Amino acid sequence: MRFVDEVKIEVQAGDGGNGIVAWRREKYVPKGGPAGGDGGNGGSVKLIADEGLHSLLDFRYNPLLRAQKGADGQGKGMHGRGGKDFIARVPVGTQIYDFDTEVLIADLTEDGEEAVVALGGSGGHGNTRFASSTRRAPDFAKPGLPGESRTLKLSLKVLADVGLLGYPNAGKSTLLSVISAARPKVADYPFTTLTPQLGVVQVEVGKSFVMADIPGLIDGASEGAGLGIQFLKHLERVRVICHLVEPLPEWMINDENLSDEEKLNKLKEKYLALRAELKNYSEDLANVPELTVMTKKDLWDAHDGHDGLVEGFKAFLKSQDARVLEISSAQKEGLKELVFGLWDFVKKEKAPTEETGFDPSAGDKLF
d(CA 23, CA 32): 7
**pLDDT per residue as tens digits for the range 266-316:** 999 989 988 888 888 778 888 888 899 998 887 877 666 555 788 888 899
Query: Are 151 and 214 found together in one domain?
Result: no
Host domain of residue 203 = 162-363
Can you list the residues of the chain whose pLDDT is less than 70? 1-3, 30, 181-196, 215-231, 302-307, 348-367
Q: Is the pTM of this model over 0.85?
A: no
Is 324 contained in some domain?
yes
Last residue of a domain, one of 112, 138, 156: 156
CATH code at position 219: 3.40.50.300
SS3 203: strand
**pLDDT at res. 82:** 96
HSE (side-chain half, CA atoms, 13 Å) at 172: 33
Query: Are 238 and 257 found together in one domain?
Result: yes
Residue 26's CB is within 10 A of a number of other CB atoms, namely 10
**pLDDT at res. 203:** 83
DSSP state of 161: S
Query: Are 180 and 292 found together in one domain?
Result: yes
**pLDDT at res. 349:** 40
Last residue of a domain, one of 114, 131, 156: 156
**pLDDT per residue as tens digits for the range 228-270:** 445 577 777 788 889 999 888 888 877 888 888 888 899 999 8
Which residues lie across from 328 on neighbouring strands? 333
**pLDDT at res. 174:** 86
d(CA 100, CA 102): 6
**pLDDT at res. 43:** 97
- Contact status, residue 32 vs residue 23, Cβ threshold 8 Å: yes
Tally of domains in the chain: 2
Query: Are 151 and 169 found together in one domain?
Result: no
Query: Are 229 and 84 found together in one domain?
Result: no
Residue 65 amino acid letter? L
Is 206 contained in some domain?
yes
Query: Are 220 and 141 found together in one domain?
Result: no
**pLDDT at res. 216:** 56
Query: Are 56 and 151 found together in one domain?
Result: yes
SS3 212: strand
Closest Cα partner for 124 from 67, 74, 164, 87? Answer: 74
**pLDDT at res. 188:** 47
Is 212 contained in some domain?
yes
What is the DSSP pairing of strand 6-12 with strand 64-66?
A: parallel
Helix (H) or strand (E) holding 91: strand 86-91
**pLDDT at res. 148:** 96
Query: Are 95 and 220 found together in one domain?
Result: no
